[in-house]
Amino acid sequence: MRQRPFDIWVVDDEPATLALLEEVLGDEDWRLEAFTRARSLLDAAERRSADLLILDLNMSGLDGLELMRHLQRLPSFSSVPVIVLTVHGSEEILVEALDMGAADLIRKPFRPAELYSRVRAQLRTRELVLDLERKRKEASFLLDMSSALNSSLNTQRVLGELVAGASRTLDVERCSIALLGDEEFDASTDGEYPMCRLVAASDDRNLSNFPLEIANYPEIRRVLDTRRPLVIEDVASSALMESVSAHLAERGVKSLALFPMRVESDLVGVLILRSATPLGEERYGMAQATANVAAVAIRNARMFEAIQRERWRLDVALNELQHTKDFLANLIDSSVDAIVAADTSGTVIVFNKVAEKALGYDARVVIGLLKVWEIYPEDGARELMQLLRSPDHGGVGRLTLTEVELVDRYGQRVPVSMSGAILYEDGVEAATVGVFSDLRDRQRMERQLAQANEELERARRQVVTAELAGAAAHELNQPLTSALGYAELLKMRLPDDDPNHAAADMVLEQIRRMARIVRQIGKLDTYKTRPYLGETHIVDLSSGGGDD
């Protein structure tokens, strides 16, 4: 919807033609301005512009072609369409007029209906051109502002440029931005409105963080409550603005338009437009887009500031942690026991000098690189964690002194006496630590003692085995001999067709097998075992003198 009528300028040195033009074009909602001399129109063009120019090509003094040449040099008239009126003229002159940018040519005398239709057609084209140019400028402005806001850390300066550019692009007297505080505003509650600050205004480049008393701005309160745009075309007649309309009238404000600055569901501020004329619906989209661009910039700026504050806090904490780390590192390296710690991923994070000596590693190639299970035998680390998590070895998360094996750099087993603990952060496992002593010297002595005891036990077993084997063979030999004789006698007495022959043969075979076993027992001189069923072992009779 067009907010103002089209301005049509007519220049002709014939009063009758001017009167006819005024009669034909005067009924429409157009502003018609007539000139009898080209020089008068040119003087007016220095100060103002028009939407359509109708000129007579043949005028005394400055003619139509000369007037067009002068107007082409004025930026405000470079795109204004021109309808040329002429009674006669050579084809060359008409072509020259068209080449100079004339949009149409009408010969006198003209038919009023034809003139009217051609004027309407030119004005429709003019409106389309102006609309496209407006949209191009709006898109270019938004693109430039988005780029500037996203690339500059000086948000205050860019917001100043944004409101100044929006004021020009939207053709309003004042464009400003009011920001809410960082706290979230909930319009569904009866609480107070959040703090609001005016951070940028197109008519005051020095304005920054000016506090606003929301109670004095009913239009801002309405936008905060509804989170929707608010357009007041006539402040004087608005019930909402009754309390402040007189104050605004003194400042020449007749129309207001406010647009919420939202980022997703968060309301960060309000874009405020003040003007002497209504904004026009065709500008609402541009205004809301400007508010959205500014909202994203504000959110990004706040996020950047929050990140900067957090970074400063983390730098302070990091320095404190570094001091603590250095102290603990000295304490750990001074320990007489080996200390190894790992994080929850199994990566070694502590490996002191005593651990280096015990396992043969250099801490520089271990810390942050080696997995803790690499210093344990297979499944050793998992089994140790089971002990740590069990309540039976000092309580959950603790391990009392326990003997385990580790694996050194060369793959050799290293027996150690270890205690350990799980370190927690907020009740969650964060690391494990083990403190151990090398037991190789002690276990070397224990192995020598065990070896001597084993040799003594082996000799005792051999003596017992030999004595037991001889006695058992002697006691079993006579009953087996009798059983064998009677079994053979029984078989001999069975008739040839007796079905019990097979059973008799089986009895004889088993008795003979038992006799062989008894002879092997009698020949045992060493004590050896062999697997029997599962984990069961029995005496290996084949370790004797062998079969006869």
pLDDT given for residue 342 in this prediction: 94
Cis omega (within 30 of 0) on the bond before 109? Answer: yes
Q: How far apart are CA 374 and CA 377, in angstroms?
A: 8
Tokens of 126: 């003019």
Q: Which residue has the tokens 């991923």?
A: 345
pLDDT band at 435 (very low <50, low <70, confident <90, very high): very high
Q: Tell me if 162 sits within 8 A of 200, measured CB to CB.
A: yes
Mean pLDDT of 432-441: 90
pLDDT score recorded for residue 188: 42
Q: What percent of the chain has pLDDT over 90?
A: 22
For residues 254-279, one letter each, b for 16 or more C-beta atoms within 10 angstroms of the residue's C-beta and e for the rest, the string is: bbbbbbbbbeeeebbbbbbbbbeebb
Q: What are phi and psi of 297, to 5 degrees?
A: -65, -40
Q: Can you name the residues that pair with 546 across neighbouring β-strands?
A: none
CA separation for the pair 54, 38 (Å, rounded): 11
Question: Cβ distance 195 to 188 under 8 Å?
Answer: no
Q: What is the pLDDT averaged over residues 37-58? A: 87
Mean of all residue pLDDT scores within the chain: 83
Instruction: Please give the single-letter amino acid code of residue 54.
Output: I
Residue 186 pLDDT level (bands cut at 50, 70, 90): very low
Segment 445-464 mean pLDDT: 81
Residue 538 pLDDT: 67
- Judge contact between 155 and 298, C-beta under 8 A: yes
Which string of b and e fits 61-72 if b means at least 16 CB within 10 Å? ebbbbebbebbe
Residue partners of 544: CB distance under 8 A and separation at least 6: 469, 520, 521, 522, 523, 524, 525
Confidence band (pLDDT; 50, 70, 90) for 537? low
CB neighbour class for 478 (10 Å; exposed up to 12, middle 13-18, buried from 19): exposed
Reported confidence tier of residue 265, pLDDT bands at 50, 70, 90 = confident
Residue 377: per-residue pLDDT: 92
Region 276-298: what's the mean pLDDT? Answer: 81
How many other CB atoms are there within 10 angstroms of residue 342's CB atom? 21
Encode pLDDT of 63-85 as tens digits. Answer: 888 888 888 888 888 788 888 88
Q: What percent of the chain has pLDDT over 70?
A: 89
Residues 215-258 have pLDDT tens digits of: 889 999 999 999 999 999 899 999 999 888 888 888 888 999 99
Give me the pLDDT at residue 67, please. 83
Q: What is the pLDDT of residue 423?
A: 92
- pLDDT tens track for 474-495: 777 778 788 878 878 887 888 8
Cα–Cα distance between 256 and 219 in angstroms, integer? 9
Least confident residue range of 97-111, 169-183, 379-393, 460-474: 460-474
In which band, very low, low, confident or very high, does the pLDDT at 189 lie, cut at 50, 70 and 90? very low
Alpha helix (H) ranges present in 152-283?
Answer: 155-170, 218-226, 245-250
Cβ-contact 273, 253 below 8 angstroms: no
**What's residue 3's pLDDT?**
58
Q: How many CB atoms lie within 10 A of CB 303?
A: 10
Asked if the model's pLDDT at residue 190 lies above 50, the reply is: no
Of the candidates 503, 499, 495, 542, the one whose C-alpha atom is nearest the C-alpha of residue 523 is 542
Which domains, from first to last, does the chain contain? 6-135 (3.40.50.2300), 152-302 (3.30.450.40), 335-438 (3.30.450.20), 444-543 (1.10.287)
Q: Identify whether the C-beta of residue 261 lies closer than 8 Å to the C-beta of residue 267.
A: yes
**By the 8 A CB rule, do 166 and 290 touch?**
yes
Q: Which of 268-282, 305-319, 382-396, 533-547 is predicted with the least confidence, judged by mean pLDDT?
A: 533-547
Q: What is the pLDDT of residue 526?
A: 63
pLDDT at 150: 63
Across the range 410-437, mean pLDDT stands at 92
Decide if 433 contacts 339 (C-beta within 8 A).
yes
pLDDT at position 98, please?
Answer: 76
Residues near 545 by beta carbon (within 8 Å), at least 6 away in sequence: 520, 523, 525
Instruction: Say whether pLDDT at 349 is over 60.
Output: yes
